[in-house]
Structure 1
Amino acid sequence: MPVPARTPGLLVPRRPPGGGPGQDRRSASRLPSIGRVPLRRQPLLPAASRSGRARSRTEPRAGGGSLPRSPPATQERKGAAMSLLASLLLLTSLAAAGGPTLAPTTITQGALGRVIYPVPEGRLVANAVLQVAGNTLPCFQQEDRLIALFAVPVQTPPGRQTATLLVRYADGSREHFPLGFTVASGTFPTQRIRMPKSKTGLMSSTILAKERQILYGAMKKTAAVPQWEGVFANPLEGRISSPFGRKRYVNGRFWGQHAGRDVAAPTGRPVQATNSGTVLVAQKLWMRGNTVMIDHGLGVFSLYCHLSQIGVKVGQSVRKGEVIGRVGATGFVTGPHLHWEIRVQRTPVNPAGPLREGIALGLPGGP
């Protein structure tokens, strides 16, 4: 169940009981272990700046006389500089407190992002979710940190976006962490294909809904621990006949953007698992034809479609490089090839990233 958002603001570590000089004890008593301090209401200013407010309109000048007060424009510049300093001091305190981090801070359409939050010592997490791109995604606790993986849909407009981490602790307190990032434009070519009427029936919204129901239902069984190892491997070497994200028009009608990568190959060539995991789907579908879906843990999945043969069963554990089926031309196709995908939760990911650098979580001895 999503955690209700709190009033927007930045987060700072709570002071020890009793606080420092001049601390508002009534405000402190209402704060959880990490409280929210709106910058406009409680700016963090150096002591010298606070004491300077009580000075007279003129200041002593060496050699006698007085120094006139700075003009308004100068005062505004000083105020802006002081606000910037306050923000930097607050961000420094957040980093020292071990707040959540989102990486990378610039994500291309169709690429992968991750949020990692070191849970404060002595605190127990009851539930945590990540809200991003209109989706609410589960978080997984690995050792002493929360991890959430997400993919930026290819249709996401370029520009600034916000992911929000919502945490509910066992004692009933809640935290709300807004994390900004930038979406960069991807490069996606256009493809126009002609299909016979005998195949276009597979584009039915009813058929697509049935397939999604099967796949999305199986995705709920993802493992709470990562099962992949290192970088992901190409399940089939060959010519890429259709790249990820390609804009497709079928018989003149916009069909959408390609959710995976197509590799041209003759029927019967072996298809290998891109990484280790557990088989969740191994059956014939309508548009996708004979399909295998593997769970790699933490909401990461790979799919292999249009197979002529399926070589694994649901529940079977597979290793990276293990043969799981053979190239075919079943389902909505113009010829034999492998269509394969990597998804995070339900969102397709450009496989180029995991193939090049894997999916790093920063866990000791882990991926």
Structure 2
Amino acid sequence: MTLATPALGLQLRSCPASLGQGEMAVVEVQAKGKVTGGFVGEPLFFFPYAPDLYRALIGVDLEAEPGPRGLQVAEGERVLRATVMVKRRPFGLQRLNLPPEMVELRGEALRRVRREKALIRRALLGTKPQPLWRRPFLLPLRGRITGAFGLQRLINGRFRSRHTGLDIAAPEGTPVVATNDGVVVLASSLYLEGNTVIMDHGLGLYSFYLHLKEFFVKRGQRIQRGKVLGLVGVSGRASGPHLHWGVVLRGKRVDPLSLLEALGEQGWKRGLSRRP
């Protein structure tokens, strides 16, 4: 989609006509001056990409209601508007059997989980106002997908919450790397998530690495793309060795594969296989 204000130079060079639930994309604008914008009532954060070209990231949550969403871009008093249609995605079902103490939370375990959820929410505040990356995003691990994003999970015979990341199985101890440059905002051992690392990549874009055997980074540390963060493990609520890789964009839970589709390195699909 390309929209322009005649003779004024402002162009919306790239904008998706639609997004599925839990998907993200890049909006690209051509302009001579400062660019601002908004999507679903929130500001867009544009950053320079090339001479007179600016980009911003947009995304919709896993459980967003289908329907049209308005997007606008402005350069001074010049304004362009577009509509992005949010479409329903056909998420599947996954059945899991786990130890009861990791599912039916009571007493101190429940209190601990609530404290740790609050800790995660605090970690997602105060993102860097500019992109911390310059190169394409990487797969943090090559392996087999054993749990797709968005699955409705049936755990021990009862429906639980949706799966908010991508599960990649690999042998225990396999290195897990940072998907791109960023800052560690959480590195801790959690009850459900196990040994966990969360990175801020700027602009409200965060990556999550769960169930690690161990991690080698600490909060506040600046990390380069491809650096080993930790090792594949089975810590927390896990049924086998794997990495749960999650992505959040300004509070919206989005599919890590959507991040790679939008900003990933070429050939990333060769690093993943599907459950047979």
Question: What is the TM-score with the length of structure 1 in the denominator?
Answer: 0.60
- Alpha-carbon distance change, 229 to 287 in structure 1, aligned in 2, over 3 angstroms: same
Q: Which residue of 1 aligns with 2:68?
A: 160
Q: Which residue of 1 aligns with 2:94?
A: 191
Structure with the bigger percentage of strand = 2
Alignment of 1:194-205 (within 5 A): 194-202=97-105
Count of residues in Structure 1 that have an aligned counterpart in Structure 2:
258
**What is the aligned-residue RMSD (CA, Å)?**
3.2
Deviation at 1:288, TM superposition (A): 0.8
**Is the Cα contact below 8 Å between 1:278 and 1:294 reproduced in 2?**
yes
Counterpart selection for 1:179 from 69, 79, 82: 82
Counterpart selection for 1:150 from 48, 58, 66: 58
Alignment of 1:59-74 (within 5 A): none
In the alignment, the residues of structure 2 paired with residue 102 and residue 201 of structure 1 have an alpha-carbon distance, to the nearest angstrom, of 47
Deviation at 1:160, TM superposition (A): 2.4
- Alpha-carbon distance change, 326 to 180 in structure 1, aligned in 2, over 3 angstroms: same
User: Which is higher, the Rg of structure 1 or of structure 2?
Assistant: 1
Q: Which residue of 1 aligns with 2:273?
A: none
Q: Which residue of 2 aligns with 1:54?
A: none
- Per-residue Cα deviation, 1:12-36 (whole angstroms, up to 9, x for no partner): xxxxxxxxxxxxxxxxxxxxxxxxx
**Is the Cα contact below 8 Å between 1:309 and 1:325 reproduced in 2?**
yes
Counterpart selection for 1:335 from 233, 240, 257: 240
Which residue identity is paired with 1:180?
T
Counterpart selection for 1:217 from 102, 108, 122: 122
- Per-residue Cα deviation, 1:197-229 (whole angstroms, up to 9, x for no partner): 211145987655433422232222322221224
In the alignment, the residues of structure 2 paired with residue 117 and residue 183 of structure 1 have an alpha-carbon distance, to the nearest angstrom, of 21
Higher relative contact order (CA 8 A, sep 6+): 2
Which residue identity is paired with 2:70?
T
Secondary structure at the counterpart of residue 315 of structure 1 = coil
Q: Which residue of 1 aligns with 2:195?
A: 290
1:277 aligns with 2:182: yes
Deviation at 1:276, TM superposition (A): 1.5
Which residue identity is paired with 1:241?
T
**Is the Cα contact below 8 Å between 2:5 and 2:11 reproduced in 1?**
no
- Per-residue Cα deviation, 1:34-65 (whole angstroms, up to 9, x for no partner): xxxxxxxxxxxxxxxxxxxxxxxxxxxxxxxx
In the alignment, the residues of structure 2 paired with residue 354 and residue 95 of structure 1 have an alpha-carbon distance, to the nearest angstrom, of 34
Deviation at 1:107, TM superposition (A): 1.3
Q: Which residue of 2 aligns with 1:82?
A: none
In the alignment, the residues of structure 2 paired with residue 187 and residue 208 of structure 1 have an alpha-carbon distance, to the nearest angstrom, of 30
Deviation at 1:243, TM superposition (A): 1.1
In the alignment, the residues of structure 2 paired with residue 157 and residue 248 of structure 1 have an alpha-carbon distance, to the nearest angstrom, of 20
- Per-residue Cα deviation, 1:229-272 (whole angstroms, up to 9, x for no partner): 43321111111111111111223332222111111223222111
Q: Which residue of 2 aligns with 1:261?
A: 166
In the alignment, the residues of structure 2 paired with residue 156 and residue 248 of structure 1 have an alpha-carbon distance, to the nearest angstrom, of 18
Deviation at 1:105, TM superposition (A): 1.6
Deviation at 1:273, TM superposition (A): 0.9
Which residue identity is paired with 1:113?
A
**Is the Cα contact below 8 Å between 2:62 and 2:252 reproduced in 1?**
no
In the alignment, the residues of structure 2 paired with residue 229 and residue 97 of structure 1 have an alpha-carbon distance, to the nearest angstrom, of 26
Secondary structure at the counterpart of residue 308 of structure 1 = strand
Question: What is the TM-score with the length of structure 2 in the denominator?
Answer: 0.78
**Is the Cα contact below 8 Å between 2:167 and 2:244 reproduced in 1?**
yes
Deviation at 1:102, TM superposition (A): 6.5
**Is the Cα contact below 8 Å between 1:267 and 1:328 reproduced in 2?**
yes
**Is the Cα contact below 8 Å between 1:232 and 1:356 reproduced in 2?**
no
Counterpart selection for 1:306 from 204, 211, 225: 211
Can you give the 5+ residue segments of structure 1 that lack an aligned partner in the other structure?
1-90, 361-367
1:317 aligns with 2:222: yes
In the alignment, the residues of structure 2 paired with residue 355 and residue 303 of structure 1 have an alpha-carbon distance, to the nearest angstrom, of 14
- Alpha-carbon distance change, 302 to 197 in structure 1, aligned in 2, over 3 angstroms: same
